[in-house]
Amino acid sequence: MRSTSLAAFVLSTISALMLAAAPAGAADLKIAVTGVASANGTIMVALYNSAETFQQKPFRAAAAQAVAGTTQIEFKDLPAGEYAFSLYHDANGNGKMDANLVGVPTEDYAFSNNAMGKFGPPKFAAARFALPADGAVQSVSLH
Protein backbone atom coordinates (compact mmCIF):
# COMPACT_ATOMS: atom_id res chain seq x y z
CA MET A 1 0.00 0.00 0.00
CA ARG A 2 2.83 2.31 0.86
CA SER A 3 4.47 1.93 -2.57
CA THR A 4 1.11 2.76 -4.20
CA SER A 5 0.94 6.02 -2.24
CA LEU A 6 4.51 6.85 -3.20
CA ALA A 7 3.81 6.10 -6.86
CA ALA A 8 0.71 8.33 -6.78
CA PHE A 9 2.71 11.12 -5.13
CA VAL A 10 5.51 10.87 -7.73
CA LEU A 11 3.00 10.79 -10.59
CA SER A 12 1.09 13.81 -9.29
CA THR A 13 4.34 15.73 -8.71
CA ILE A 14 5.57 14.99 -12.24
CA SER A 15 2.19 16.02 -13.67
CA ALA A 16 2.23 19.30 -11.74
CA LEU A 17 5.78 20.06 -12.91
CA MET A 18 4.85 19.33 -16.52
CA LEU A 19 1.84 21.65 -16.30
CA ALA A 20 3.94 24.40 -14.74
CA ALA A 21 6.58 24.07 -17.48
CA ALA A 22 4.04 24.06 -20.33
CA PRO A 23 3.90 27.27 -22.31
CA ALA A 24 0.82 29.40 -21.60
CA GLY A 25 -0.38 29.61 -25.28
CA ALA A 26 -3.53 31.45 -24.30
CA ALA A 27 -3.75 35.13 -25.17
CA ASP A 28 -6.38 37.74 -24.35
CA LEU A 29 -7.71 40.16 -26.95
CA LYS A 30 -9.20 43.42 -25.75
CA ILE A 31 -11.22 45.50 -28.20
CA ALA A 32 -12.01 49.17 -27.54
CA VAL A 33 -14.94 50.26 -29.70
CA THR A 34 -15.04 54.06 -29.99
CA GLY A 35 -17.72 56.29 -31.43
CA VAL A 36 -20.58 54.44 -29.75
CA ALA A 37 -23.49 56.87 -30.18
CA SER A 38 -25.64 55.67 -27.29
CA ALA A 39 -25.94 53.15 -24.48
CA ASN A 40 -28.94 51.57 -26.21
CA GLY A 41 -28.57 47.95 -27.28
CA THR A 42 -25.53 45.75 -27.63
CA ILE A 43 -22.18 45.68 -29.40
CA MET A 44 -22.01 42.35 -31.27
CA VAL A 45 -18.58 41.01 -32.25
CA ALA A 46 -17.58 38.08 -34.49
CA LEU A 47 -13.93 36.95 -34.37
CA TYR A 48 -12.44 35.02 -37.31
CA ASN A 49 -9.19 33.09 -37.57
CA SER A 50 -8.94 32.49 -41.33
CA ALA A 51 -9.74 34.01 -44.71
CA GLU A 52 -11.89 30.97 -45.50
CA THR A 53 -14.25 31.59 -42.60
CA PHE A 54 -14.19 35.43 -42.61
CA GLN A 55 -17.73 36.82 -42.56
CA GLN A 56 -19.08 33.24 -42.74
CA LYS A 57 -18.35 31.26 -39.59
CA PRO A 58 -16.90 33.01 -36.52
CA PHE A 59 -14.19 31.32 -34.49
CA ARG A 60 -15.71 33.04 -31.44
CA ALA A 61 -18.42 35.62 -30.82
CA ALA A 62 -19.13 38.04 -28.00
CA ALA A 63 -21.61 40.72 -27.04
CA ALA A 64 -21.39 43.61 -24.61
CA GLN A 65 -23.89 46.16 -23.40
CA ALA A 66 -23.24 49.36 -25.35
CA VAL A 67 -21.60 52.18 -23.43
CA ALA A 68 -21.88 55.63 -25.00
CA GLY A 69 -18.45 56.79 -26.14
CA THR A 70 -16.31 53.66 -25.77
CA THR A 71 -17.34 50.06 -25.18
CA GLN A 72 -14.81 47.44 -24.12
CA ILE A 73 -15.04 43.80 -25.22
CA GLU A 74 -12.64 41.01 -24.29
CA PHE A 75 -11.90 37.54 -25.66
CA LYS A 76 -9.91 35.35 -23.26
CA ASP A 77 -7.70 32.31 -23.81
CA LEU A 78 -7.17 32.58 -27.57
CA PRO A 79 -4.34 30.77 -29.32
CA ALA A 80 -1.72 33.19 -30.63
CA GLY A 81 -2.13 33.73 -34.37
CA GLU A 82 -3.83 35.83 -37.00
CA TYR A 83 -7.37 37.10 -36.54
CA ALA A 84 -9.88 39.61 -37.90
CA PHE A 85 -13.17 40.77 -36.44
CA SER A 86 -16.35 42.47 -37.50
CA LEU A 87 -18.76 44.15 -35.15
CA TYR A 88 -21.89 46.26 -35.10
CA HIS A 89 -23.98 48.24 -32.66
CA ASP A 90 -27.36 46.53 -32.40
CA ALA A 91 -28.91 49.74 -31.08
CA ASN A 92 -32.50 48.55 -31.39
CA GLY A 93 -31.81 45.16 -29.77
CA ASN A 94 -33.35 43.04 -32.51
CA GLY A 95 -30.35 40.69 -32.73
CA LYS A 96 -29.42 41.45 -36.32
CA MET A 97 -27.56 43.99 -38.43
CA ASP A 98 -30.21 46.20 -39.98
CA ALA A 99 -29.82 47.36 -43.57
CA ASN A 100 -31.79 49.44 -46.07
CA LEU A 101 -33.49 48.05 -49.20
CA VAL A 102 -30.24 47.90 -51.17
CA GLY A 103 -28.32 46.22 -48.34
CA VAL A 104 -26.42 49.19 -46.94
CA PRO A 105 -26.13 48.87 -43.13
CA THR A 106 -28.28 51.28 -41.15
CA GLU A 107 -26.59 50.44 -37.84
CA ASP A 108 -23.03 51.44 -36.99
CA TYR A 109 -20.33 48.85 -37.70
CA ALA A 110 -16.56 48.37 -37.85
CA PHE A 111 -13.88 45.88 -38.88
CA SER A 112 -10.50 45.28 -37.28
CA ASN A 113 -7.82 47.70 -38.48
CA ASN A 114 -10.74 50.04 -39.31
CA ALA A 115 -10.68 48.25 -42.67
CA MET A 116 -13.27 49.28 -45.23
CA GLY A 117 -14.32 47.36 -48.32
CA LYS A 118 -15.53 48.62 -51.67
CA PHE A 119 -19.12 47.60 -52.33
CA GLY A 120 -19.16 45.27 -49.35
CA PRO A 121 -17.04 44.14 -46.42
CA PRO A 122 -13.24 44.24 -46.59
CA LYS A 123 -11.16 41.16 -47.33
CA PHE A 124 -9.61 39.20 -44.46
CA ALA A 125 -6.15 40.45 -45.49
CA ALA A 126 -7.20 44.08 -44.88
CA ALA A 127 -8.70 43.34 -41.47
CA ARG A 128 -6.11 40.79 -40.32
CA PHE A 129 -3.91 41.42 -37.27
CA ALA A 130 -1.46 39.31 -35.30
CA LEU A 131 -2.33 38.28 -31.76
CA PRO A 132 0.88 37.50 -29.85
CA ALA A 133 0.98 35.03 -26.97
CA ASP A 134 1.02 37.88 -24.44
CA GLY A 135 -2.24 39.35 -25.81
CA ALA A 136 -3.15 42.59 -27.54
CA VAL A 137 -5.48 45.57 -27.52
CA GLN A 138 -7.26 46.61 -30.71
CA SER A 139 -9.15 49.88 -31.12
CA VAL A 140 -11.77 50.54 -33.79
CA SER A 141 -14.19 53.34 -34.58
CA LEU A 142 -17.79 52.71 -35.51
CA HIS A 143 -18.94 53.91 -38.95
Q: 104-129, pLDDT tens digit by residue? A: 999 999 999 999 999 899 999 999 99
Residue 6 has pLDDT above 50, yes or no: no
- Per residue in 75-90, pLDDT (tens digit) is 999 999 999 999 999 9
Tell me the pLDDT band of 12, cut-offs 50, 70 and 90.
very low
Mean of per-residue pLDDT scores for the chain: 87
Residue 20 has pLDDT above 90, yes or no: no
Measured in whole angstroms, the distance separating CA 63 from the mean position of its chain's CA atoms is: 10
Domain residue ranges in the chain: 26-141
Q: What is the pLDDT of residue 132?
A: 98
DSSP-based three-state secondary structure for 1: coil
- DSSP letter string over 106-117? SS-EEEGGG---
- DSSP letter string over 67-87? -SEEEEEEEEEEESEEEEEEE
Task: Note if the pTM is more than 0.85.
Answer: no
